[in-house]
A and B are shown apart, each in its own frame.
Chain A
Amino acid sequence: MDNKELLEKLAMNVVQGRIEAEDEGFDEGLEGQPAVTELVNQALEQGISPSQILLAGLTDPMTMVGEKFEQGEYLIPDMLAAAEAVGAGMDILAPRLLKDGVESKGRFVIATVNGDLHDIGKNIVSIMIKGAGYDVIDLGVDVPAERIVEAVREHNAPYLGLSALLTTTMRNMREVIDQLKEAGLDSTRVCIGGAPTSPEFAAEIGADAHCPDAFAVIDWLKTQTA
């Protein structure tokens, strides 16, 4: 397989959302064939530059999937699967890209706040922004404010995402933001999300943005400069 064919195949597998050979796509008969992980490794072995793999093999097809989503042809699962596949490719490429002087778009710490065990929305955001090229540090659920602030400091993260599903736990977001300020980390930009949150609540607690879904997070990140 020449380089062009290989990158095309990689792109096709991003669209199909296949991470490993055992994965199915949405088309029949793909199981068992090399997927993103195998193809990225093969591309590196063939000497294709990490930047070229990133652009032609991962970013371009992800953009195409996004466009199809905008047109209503694809649904959230298609976006998510493609983003997850891109994320898997990025895990392999990241050290090499760094070596070549290509950095991620920025580190993004994300967590569901103290007292709240809900993580579906947080996980979707995590997958999508990783697929969009950000370096994601996912702290999980029920994370105390102190641990979140510590992670922001440790990773020198310019972005923080906070999630809560309960009206009783959303107030804990304020605690995180207050502690960030107290720790002198107020240059970190904070977005919040979750069913009970609103733009008004975000403003009230001093968050920089309210993002109702993963796409809003990506759109918001595009407006920021790390």
Chain B
Amino acid sequence: MTEPDTFRQGTVVKPYERLNAEQLALLDAASLKILEETGIWCYNLRAAELFAAHGARVEDEPGTGAPCKRVFFPPEMVRKYIAMAPSRVVLGARDPKNRLLLDACVPRIYFGSGSETNVWLETELEEFQAVNDPARKITAPRYREKRGDALLLARAARLCEQLENLDFFIRPVNIQDRDISQEDHDVNKFFASLNNITKHVQAGLTTRDSLDKVLKMAEIIAGGSEQLRHNPLISFIACVFKSPLQMVADTTDKVFDMVEAGMPVVISSSPQGGSSAPIQEAGMVAQINAEILAGVMLTQLIKPGAPVLYGSVPVRARLDDLHDLYGCPEFNQYNNDTVQLARHYRIPCYSTAGVDDASIPGLQATFEKVFTHLYMGMCGAQYIHYAFGLLERTNIFCPLQAVLDNEQVGKVKHCLRPPKVDQQSIDEVLTMITKVMKSSHRLFTRHTRKATHAGEVSEPYRFGAREHEDGVISRAAAALAELEARPGKHLPPEIQDRIFNEVPGIVPRLLSK
């Protein structure tokens, strides 16, 4: 894959790596041992046959309630096919300037949205009066839940177009319109997204049969079949594994179709430490790595060199209710390790940051988000999803929170910029110091201007206040209103018409003319 002429620059970081070389080798070996000795439970017989044809030992696995094969992979087979995965993947976009260059050998980080929440959380500001002092009033947020639907998804895409620190779009809200059937789910979710954002759009497929319709839509936008493969403005997420170690039938079928169609695919796995994987770091990472390696291997057996991302979303269980727990140290540890492993295999890494347990914006959400936004950015995962607007784990999307996250991710990106320390910058500052020390006031203030006007100096926290009241939420609400008032970047009317006429199932209310 050659480098595209334009792409989002992202932030190239110097990765923090908690595993040393020996620990990395131990985890790699443990994953290969799992694949060789424990094997996987493969419910997709086509995949099992393909694995068998290329060197895997395949046995019947009775008693599982559905046709199932146990597949055992020799380590040399795993190594051979993992090495075929390309280290560089370009994800396209409606606007070529928004393409993403994912290079496993370059820790260039991008942040995007994600999850498919059912709930949209609207923020309303209300004025409250003190009981014992009616003159004392404060403004505070009230939150109202809405059922996610196609128009809200379109609104989310339109907002995400305006968030300058959001690099790609994975739909953050689910379509639950009563008049949209399961069969038409995919065309509506892709159209609601693509008609409102010029950045890369990625999603899973609800039904296998809709792939052709979705590809048709993307080809119309890209200008043709070849143009779409050259500028893949959409890509797919496939969670082929149900942890622990079970390759599911239907999603695996979709992977065959996506890969054969020449489209980029994320092979994603999300075991939960403490329930569907060991809670111990070594066990969790060895298992998820084995699962992802099996999935990546499948893509390379279907089509050698197929563009694929190493999709790792290891989470930990809360031990009081066994829900996912994201804003905890183990989450960062698991995810750091998988980023390192992806780098070791030279496959671009799809990772996670910015998920919290809090149900509304506020201090808890901010703590949990910054904890992972910064840490996972430091780890150098190329493609970090879930980073905008999520609340209550992955159950709620709040546009106001997305605006807050945009500010936070911007600060993280700035913080992780490469140091500007070279001979030229040293010469410049030494000259500056000499000059200032000769001046009467010895102030460096005037010498900040060039860097400030060039955008090299960060701004103060955008929603901060100087008075003794916390005005973050109300300031973010004002910013959200301003962003949502901007005109949308819709597809040209003739393209919308063509898609509407040639791709059946799209609801007319999603057209924007």
Contacts and interface: CB of A to CB of B under 8 A. Distances in A.
Interface of A: 17, 24-27, 75-78, 80-81, 84, 119-120, 123-124, 126-127, 138
Interface string B427-443: 00000000000001111
Given A26-B452, A26-B453, A77 B446 contact: yes
B446 A17 contact: yes
A78 B446 CA distance: 7
A119 B440 CA distance: 11
Contacts of A77: 445-449, 452
B136 interface: no
Interface in B432-471: 440-443, 445-450, 452-453
B247 to A, nearest CB: 56
In order of increasing CB-CB distance, the 5 nearest A-B pairs are A81-B446, A123-B441, A26-B453, A26-B449, A77-B448
Interface string B314-357: 00000000000000000000000000000000000000000000
A127 B446 CA distance: 11
27 contacts: A17-B446, A17-B449, A25-B449, A25-B450, A26-B449, A26-B450, A26-B452, A27-B453, A75-B449, A75-B452, A77-B445, A77-B447, A77-B449, A77-B452, A80-B443, A80-B445, A80-B446, A81-B445, A81-B446, A81-B449, A119-B441, A120-B443, A123-B442, A123-B443, A124-B443, A124-B445, A127-B443
Contacts of B447: 77
Given A77-B448, A81-B446, A126 B453 contact: no
Contact of B446 (A84, A120, A126): A84
Contacts of B445: 76-77, 80-81, 124
A119 B442 CA distance: 9
Nearest to B439: A84
Nearest to A30: B450
Interface in B399-442: 440-442
Contacts of A124: 443, 445
Contacts of A123: 441-443
Residue among A24, A119, A126 facing the most chain B CB atoms (10 A cut-off): A24
Nearest to A22: B435
A127 B442 CA distance: 12
A123 B440 CA distance: 9
A150 B442 CA distance: 26
Q: How large is the interface on B (under 10, 10 to 19, 20 to 34, 35 or more residues)?
A: 10 to 19
Given A77-B452, A127-B441, 11 more contacts: A25-B449, A26-B449, A26-B452, A77-B448, A77-B449, A78-B449, A81-B449, A124-B443, A124-B445, A127-B443, A138-B440
A199 to B, nearest CB: 17
Contacts of B442: 123
B32 to A, nearest CB: 55
Nearest to B440: A138
Interface in B98-151: none
Contacts of A76: 445
A177 to B, nearest CB: 25
Contacts of A120: 443
A75 B448 CA distance: 10
A124 B446 CA distance: 11
Nearest to B450: A26
A80 B449 CA distance: 10
A192 B440 CA distance: 22
Nearest to A126: B441
A140 to B, nearest CB: 10
Contacts of B449: 17, 25-26, 75, 77-78, 81
A176 to B, nearest CB: 22
- Among B440, B445, B447, max chain A CB count under 10 A is at B445
Nearest to B443: A123
A126 B442 CA distance: 12
A80 B445 CA distance: 8
A17 to B, nearest CB: 6
Interface string B361-392: 00000000000000000000000000000000
A24 B452 contact: no
Nearest to B441: A123
Contacts of A75: 449, 452
A78 B447 CA distance: 9
A122 B453 CA distance: 26
Contacts of A126: 441
Contacts of B443: 80, 120, 123-124, 127
Contacts of B450: 24-26
Contacts of B446: 17, 77, 80-81, 84
Nearest to A84: B446
A126 B441 CA distance: 9
Q: Which of B446, B449, B450 has the most CB of A within 10 A?
A: B446
A152 to B, nearest CB: 21
A11 to B, nearest CB: 17
Contacts of A81: 445-446, 449
A13 to B, nearest CB: 13
A77 B448 CA distance: 7
A118 to B, nearest CB: 12
Nearest to B453: A26
B418 to A, nearest CB: 21
A123 B450 CA distance: 21
Contacts of A27: 453
Nearest to A140: B440
B138 to A, nearest CB: 25
Contacts of A119: 441
A213 B448 CA distance: 19
Interface string B13-25: 0000000000000
A86 to B, nearest CB: 13
B274 to A, nearest CB: 50
A27 to B, nearest CB: 8
A124 B440 CA distance: 11
A22 to B, nearest CB: 8
A124 B448 CA distance: 15
Nearest to A122: B441
Contacts of A138: 440
Nearest to B431: A22
Nearest to B428: A24
A26 B446 CA distance: 10
Nearest to A75: B452
B304 to A, nearest CB: 49
A125 to B, nearest CB: 10
